[in-house]
Structure 1
Amino acid sequence: MPQELRRVDYYQLQTTNNHCSVLVAPSTKSPSRKLVVADHSNDVYSFEYTDTLKISQFPVTTHIARIYNDQRRGKETSRILITQGTCIFIYSVNGKQLFKYGSSIDGTITALASVDSGLYFVTECIYQKLVSWKEDEFLLCPDRISDILVLHDVFPDSTPLVVLACIDRMIRLLKCGTINGELEVAGPPTCLSTADAQRRADHVVYGTSDGQLGLIKLMRGQPVHGWQLCSRNTRGPVLGIEHFDLFHTGQEQLIVSYEEGVIEVYEYDTLGHPCMLYDLNLLHKLTSVKAGTFASPQYPELVCVAYTGAVFGLTTEPLKEVTEQGQEEVGRSLLQSKVDKLREEVSVLEEQLLQIRSTREKPTDQSMLCLTTAKIAHNFSLDASRSIFCLHLECAVALDHVLIQCDCPVELEDSEHGTAILSLTPCTVESGSALLATLRYQANVNFTKIYLRTIEGQYGTLRVYVTPSSIVSVTCQCLEFPIRPLSLHQRIHSFEDGRPLSRLTLTGRFSLATIHQWVRLCVPETPEKPPFIEPSTEGSVPFGIDPGEQYVRLIYGSTFLPTQLECCYQRNKATFRSCNISTLAIVKDFLTKEATMSKVQLSIDTDIHPDSVEHTLRLIHPELEAHITLARQVRLIDPIQELVAGQTQSFPQPFCGDNAENPLPGSLPEEHAAIWRDSARLRTLYKQQPIQLERLSGCVVDQYIDKFRFQGIDVKSRITELMKLLNQYDFYQILQFFNES
């Protein structure tokens, strides 16, 4: 077992951005290691630890996006790279500006890599390479790029291989500025890292926005998957991945940090697969985690920066020192001096706080009330494993209350994080709200998780009003999140043509950009700019597409049902295919409404496959049957327990205890005995999925309504009869009901 990591607090800054710090290696002019951190005050702090912590700072002109180490060799002094908007600055660690480069591309530089072969950076979805500060390579990717990695030891001629992590769930490989290979991964990748020293140079580890990890083998442009770790819990996006020998075992460990405050340390087994060695939940949002030596050259640590501005280390240095005689002695004098220093700092802070309170509570006639807005970090994402949305909020100060309002049907689920009092306000049609809820928090709670369930086909805007605690003045911030019609869909890259597919075709006078914007408003994870496919006379093109014009093809998969949606469109024509006719009905209704608002006349053609509905019902059947069986078993638990308790009291001798296989062997059937034995597990399982049965039944009802809607028949009067069949669930009776109607 590894030794425990001990927290050591270093400093408190203002709120920070992701990737806001670097550990600068020693150089000839600066023999000690330094930590460089930037916060929202546009100040850059340099921390150096000798006997005590030495701090220096220098200001910059505008907001800092990211900080990097200058990894080019042959430099006498350590240098850092800072990205600010479209500019790249080179600074010394002492704050002297050495160079400035301004990109001609609009947008924010989101990632870069500085190596001997050049400077590689990305602006949104554009990749560029600079050699001697002149553009050498340029590429426009189909979607936004989140991270970049440059490898030099993959090809025999040392040609750099550039690895791009794109949020369309693709990792793309570039050689000499052109795509050399690509590989689909399980989620939108957020960060890349080289593998440990024992692996080959062409092995890369990636992390995704839904907390998954994986290894890919690049194979000189033919990438394949290695191992993959699915997210065990909702830990949020992966913040960073590093390899470092943290515990002096002679082998590098895999260190993974998550934005929501979780740090995991893995070791590799003999087959090269990671095994959990250590994990820690810090219970607040992290913006940077770096592994290395900082406070002590003998003891490695994880230097962490929190969103709230706290700078601290998780060190392997023990609190007690072992002498040659094997006795443990505590450095009491050193600890006492630190305690005395902390007490002095606390007394100074208390005096400053009293002065601030007195000036705020007794304003003069000439004074003006000044409201300061607290920074709030938020992340609204879909948990695909549960088909539920998670809203993570964190404030620099404690939260007072959060008001949630939505103009479309949304259900709140109990949060497992934090303590809050939930108040629901009844909503009317006239109010324009379908949900109005207030969460009031206890003292010193500055982060929370809120889970929400959406219904596909119902769309609108979720508004969250966050009010932090304050002594005198209180400011409220409004956050808005769109709820799209196909909210439970996500981007994929493969489509199964062998399914019984129904088709929806729209024609009219619209541009490709217009139809792409409509699709983007309808389905999540649609890129901001349409990923054009240029016209070609060779090769196959999607159904209904004119090969002489450029077009767009996007594929989505439902996280709730195993169904898919293909969107192919070009100027004046759009085709949508799916085996789920309810999905096509939602697309048809939404796009028709958007076209009406834009005053675009559409011609709609549908081709419903006769087996589409039965195919979808068979996809729903296994899970629906399992949930109905579970609900029936849970309803039988109380009567069975009452029967067992009554029989045991009447005839105590013949019956066995709680551990018996069957408490009533003569009269209780084995099926009911199994329910009695597993009652605790069944209740827990049912509690974890409280409304899954209702959602699955709703999908069956939607299939029935939409099947006849496409035929122009209203069958809502028969929904009651269908619900009775669902309560007595038999798949073939349901199928017969669909065919006879």
Structure 2
Amino acid sequence: MSLSLSRIDYAAVGVTSRGTTKIFPAKEHKQTQKFAVADHDGILHVYGVKKGELQVSFKSLPGPKINKLVLGGTGHDKIYIAQVNTVKGYTKKGKLFLEFDTNLIDPISALYVLGPDLAACARDLYHRYRDCKDADSYLAGETLYDVVLLPTDGSFIFAILACGDCAIRVLHGTKTPAVLRLPSVPTVLSLYREGDVESKERVLVGTMDGKVGLLILQGNKTLRITWLLNMTSSEITSLDTYELQDGLDILIGRQDGTVEVYTFPEEDMLPSLRYRYNASESISSVIGGIIGAAGYPEVLVTTYSGRIFGLTTKPPGLLEADQNDGLTKLKVEIEQLQEKLKEEKEAASFSVDPLAPLILSVNHRMTLNREDVSYSLFIELDTPIDNILIQSDTPIVLLDVESNSAVVSLSTCNPREGNFVLATYRCQINTNHLEMRLRTIEGQPGTLQIYVTSQVQPKCCRKLLIPIPALSFHVRQHEVENPETRTEGPFNALRLIGGFTIAEMHAWLSFALPDVPERPLLEEGEAILTYVSSFIGSVIKCRYKKGSAVFLGENISTIIILRDILTREATKRKIKLDVFCDVSDGSISRVLELVFPQLNAVDDLITKVKILNALEEWELKENPKENLCTEYQELLQKESEIKSQMAKDSELLERLHAVITDLYVDWERAKRSRRIGSKDAAEKLDAALKSRELAQVLQVFVDASNTPSSCKD
């Protein structure tokens, strides 16, 4: 790290959404710049520094929650905000010059302005307006996280969409969009810029699993990506490029509160970390500019709770010298607190029922981690968290999180009453966000009920309902020909015929599979989805239309789980289904081929750990060169790495054995229409699994296959 930055606290506003802080271009080189910030109270603030003091240039009246803020106009000096489905435009001085109802049904979640063009996204619908008149629209069928517009030589423009199906889509007029597949969901788009000059063909992209890439729209109008940071980390919430000191830098804000500065890589070079800071709450905006002092660039940061501060290149000694005696600043802070207290009292006076609990503002997200097939649950308040209570109506396993300092208490539960897990997380003082990890059991969907209380407002409580899918699958793709998924192979087939609609079947699938699209994407009246198992890599393909659905899966266990869930949902709604299940004999060997490399790797790892523990017990680690063979010496050199891998998932071997056991149970059920318990199946497989021979395990399945390979329910 070669960059030294110092924090300066500027102001505090209400809770903020991502991308609601923007800096106006400087009038003169290296002069201080004004900035605008909008919050969930519906208030738009414009700040500027005069005579070393931060002053409010403009402040609007409260209103509906502001979801997005962008700059537009010839000199990027106009402010556009999105409130519900309305876009308002303000000048820097606070004059309202535009109030435009987009007629979108859902609230605007992404906004961009380029000249006379205004792009707005609401859930899965993109719409572009030119001079406030309809220009074009696109129904993605996927959650749209962000949008940017790029100019072209002609009258058309390019719209770059960050989509929830791990894809970037490029729209060019009414033409079919170009699609670029990514390994994770893109959540943030930001134009590459040098100073105040924005690129017309380069866009930074941040993903849900913490990667940062550079999108380049090439001369032939095709899109390619160069990964700048390709490691897994906390979700990217904000991006910018700016020259802080000695070259262009990448500014990154993350959900876990981390602010990072990386050098922008040159050819044949990787970006290097120059600075890292943690704000203890998620970052909603990071942007480079000159705010506090002329000539000193800084990173302007806004957090979820509305704290605004700068990370400046100005040396700490000069910062202290600029403060006369500190009393003036303290007086301003006291006045701000008094004003905020007054606003709170005024807001409280409008309460209809003084005994009714207030609703806390909670930011939360649950995502699937592909590395260890667990779910990360992130919860954040704009005030310190007191307690988080978790109740699950399906079996789950709560896992340890290194960064989690909360005290966990587990209560006795009665599964017969539909209560499998009841846990309380008691947070330390001034903890605004908490990350939890949990692992589900394949085939058992359910719901997490979460209750959150605040230390500041102990009488306030917020309840969250989070669905738990039955299958831990990822890499959803619409295109069957996608190279990441297999199109040929031994597939088991599940066919359903009945009186259901496409929308109905689509809703039922959401109980089984994670991140099902907002709407089914239809191709000639048929919806197509493809998923890959995050644990073993088996594929399942879903094709459904009105009254008919076909599911192809390499793993018979997946097919059985789907069959049980879909028939249960149909029974609830009194819809008659004809169910056909065709079993492929080759699917067993295919699944075992996927599982056995992992099984052997874990067995080898366990053996190495046992050897290391034995060497420690025999006290042979002090002089390894004299006492041990070359193989054991190499093990000692990699001891920390080996034990670290083992600590990541100490129960991986049992989970892999459980996959094979479930495979046998479901194979018996599908091939012979015979139900067998997991305990009996484990006993039949025990000797074969201990041998670590694929042929022996496969023989157990072959011996059980004595009936025709199809069944009908």
Normalised TM-score (structure 2): 0.89
Q: Secondary structure at the match of 1:288?
A: strand
Question: In structure 2, what is the Cα distance between the partners aligned to 1:348 and 1:157?
Answer: 53
1:254 pairs, out of 241, 250, 256, with: 250
Given that residues 376 and 436 in structure 2 are in contact (C-alpha distance below 8 angstroms), is that contact kept between their aligned partners in structure 1? yes
* 3-state SS of 1:14 partner: coil
Check if 1:118 corresponds to 2:117. Answer: yes
The answer on whether the counterparts of 2:42 and 2:66 sit within 8 Å (CA) in structure 1 is yes
- Is 1:242–2:240 an aligned residue pair? yes
2:415 pairs, out of 425, 429, 432, with 429
SS at the partner of 2:225? strand
Distance 1:142 1:517 in 2: 13
Q: 191-200 or 570-579, which moves further after superposition?
A: 191-200
- Structure 2 counterpart SS, 1:275: coil
Q: For residue 510 of structure 1, give the secondary structure of its aligned residue in structure 2.
A: coil
For residues 241-275 of structure 1, the C-alpha deviation after alignment (integer angstroms, 9 at most, x for no partner) is: 2221121x2x4222222232222222244416541
Report if aligned partners of 1:585, 1:706 keep a CA contact under 8 Å in 2. yes
* Secondary structure of the corresponding residue to residue 327 of structure 2: helix
**Match for residue 420 of structure 1 among 390, 406, 412:** 406
Q: Does 1:39 align with 2:39?
A: yes
Q: From 721, 731, 734, give the equivalent of 2:684.
A: 721
Asked if the contact 2:398/2:437 (under 8 Å) is kept, the reply is yes
- Higher Rg: 1
Q: Give the corresponding residue for 2:664.
A: 704
Q: Deviations over 1:477-510 (max 9, x none)?
A: 2111100111343413423122222211111121
Q: Cα offset for 1:417?
A: 1.5
Give the aligned partner of residue 157 of structure 2.
160
Distance 1:270 1:94 in 2: 40
1:319 is displaced (CA, Å) by 2.1
Pairing of 1:331-342 with structure 2 (within 5 A): 332=321, 334-337=322-325, 339-342=326-329
Task: Please tell me whether the aligned partners of residues 641 and 676 of structure 1 are also in contact (alpha carbons under 8 angstroms).
Answer: no
Q: 2:498 aligns with which of 500, 508, 516?
A: 508
What CA distance in whole angstroms lies between the structure 2 residues aligned with 1:18 and 1:369?
33
Q: Per-residue deviation at 1:592? A: 0.8
Identical residues among aligned pairs (%): 26
Deviation sequence 1:303-357 (CA, Å, 0-9, x none): 1111122110111111235xxxxxxxx864x3342x2234546777999999999
**Match for 2:502: what amino acid?**
L
The verdict on how the C-alpha distance between 1:290 and 1:555 changes in structure 2, with shifts beyond 3 A counting, is same
The 5 A counterparts of 1:456-535 are 456-470=442-456, 473-492=458-477, 493=479, 494=482, 495-534=485-524
- The answer for the alignment partner of 2:189 in structure 1 is 192
Q: Does the CA-based 8 Å contact 1:182-1:223 persist in structure 2?
A: no
Q: Which structure 2 residues correspond to residues 384-423 of structure 1 after superposition, within 5 A?
A: 384-423=370-409
Give the Cα separation in 2 of the matches to 1:331 and 1:437: 47
Structure 1 residues 350 and 517: CA distance shift in structure 2, 3 A: closer
**Structure 2 equivalent of residue 282 of structure 1:** 279
Kindly provide the amino acid, as one letter, of the partner of residue 484 in structure 1. Answer: P
Q: Distance in 1 between matches of 2:112 and 2:676?
A: 60
- Equivalent residue in structure 2 for 1:570, among 530, 534, 545: 545
- Which amino acid is the alignment partner of residue 118 of structure 1? D
1:636 deviates by 4.2
Q: Post-superposition shift, 1:560?
A: 1.2
State the match for 1:634 in structure 2.
Answer: 609
SS in 1 for 2:109: strand
Q: Distance in 2 between matches of 1:143 and 1:736?
A: 44
Q: Distance in 2 between matches of 1:399 and 1:37?
A: 25
Aligned counterparts of 1:106 and 1:700: Cα–Cα separation in 2 = 47
CA 1:422–1:93 in structure 2 vs 1: closer, same or farther (change >3 Å)? same
1:126 Cα deviation after fit = 2.3
1:599-638 alignment, distance < 5 Å: 599-638=574-613
Residue in structure 1 matching 2:625, options 644, 661, 671 = 661
Which of these residues, 54, 57, 60, is aligned with residue 59 of structure 2? 57
Q: What is the CA distance between 1:25 and its match in structure 2?
A: 2.6
In the other structure, the counterpart of 2:261 is: 265
CA distance in 2: counterparts of 1:354 and 1:17, whole angstroms:
22
Offset, 1:88: 0.8
User: Would the alpha carbon gap of residues 696 and 418 (structure 1) be closer, same or farther in structure 2, given more than 3 Å must change?
Assistant: same
Partner of 1:170: 167
In structure 2, runs of 5+ residues without a counterpart are 345-352, 705-713
CA–CA distance in structure 2, aligned partners of residues 17 and 579 of structure 1? 42
Distance 1:571 1:347, change over 3 A: closer
Distance apart, 1:420 and its partner CA: 1.9
| Structure 1 match to 2:4 | 4
1:371 CA drift (Å): 4.3
Q: 1:186: how far off? A: 1.5
Q: Partners of 1:345 and 1:354 in 2: how far apart?
A: 14
Post-superposition Cα deviations, 1:98-146, rounded to whole Å, max 9, x if no partner, equal: 1111122211122222122522222322222222221122222232322
Q: Which amino acid aligns with 1:91?
A: Y
Aligned pairs for 1:281-430 within 5 A: 281-320=278-317, 332=321, 334-337=322-325, 339-344=326-331, 371-430=357-416
Q: 1:194 and 1:353, CA in 2 relative to 1: closer, same or farther beyond 3 A?
A: closer
Equivalent residue for 2:213? 214
- 1:362 aligns with none
